[in-house]
Structure 1
């Protein structure tokens, strides 16, 4: 007979839900073009003098990438929350099932007579 362990399920649920926070923190660290470039000046593709900033196309591409990645992080965080909730619900159902079974056990060998 398989052994069910609701406490372990709840422990795993907590660990999975913690991933939600990690995804949110990672999302916050992913920014577009902000502040000085750590790799030095990025010149406009036309090599125009006096323009050490990225072109509008590069900025738009980076912002688009950032926005899509933020969507992926949000989806993953939502999935972790849902999975944690499902695990907690499974633990609750196991506890209720075990309690109901304990109340309705029938002894057939006559040892309690």
Structure 2
């Protein structure tokens, strides 16, 4: 019969939850264009709308990409939090089952042959 190891489950839960923090830190490193636009003029001057900066389209595209990447990082971080919680719940259930079995089992000297 396999042995349950709630302590190992809780250790893994802590490691999974630490991934949550790594996702949050990495997400902060994904930024859009700040300051001067590094792409310079993307459109030719005759293609510009009145008042449009030559590379606004690129800045907007990068902003949309950044927002999408941020959403993916947020979703992954939440998944890690949920996974950690599920592992902790499993560890608690194993402990409760072991405790209940210990309390319910009475072995009298010589009465149980294995």
TM-score by length of 1: 0.83
RMSD, aligned CA: 2.1
- Residue aligned with 2:70, SS: helix
Deviations 1:6-48 (A, max 9, x none): 00000000000001001111111100001356xx652232168
Count of aligned pairs between the two proteins: 105
Match in the other structure for 1:12: 12
Which deviations, in whole Å up to 9, do the C-alpha atoms of 1:55-83 show, x marking residues without a partner?
11100000000000000000000000000
Secondary structure, counterpart of 1:2 in structure 2: coil
* Aligned pairs (5 A) from 1:49-88: 55-88=55-88
Which runs of 5 or more structure 2 residues have no equivalent in the other structure?
Answer: 47-52
- CA–CA distance in structure 2, aligned partners of residues 57 and 85 of structure 1: 42
User: What TM-score do you get using the length of structure 2 for normalisation?
Assistant: 0.82
- How far, CA to CA, are the matches of 2:73 and 2:106 in structure 1? 51
Gaps in structure 1 of 5+ consecutive residues: none
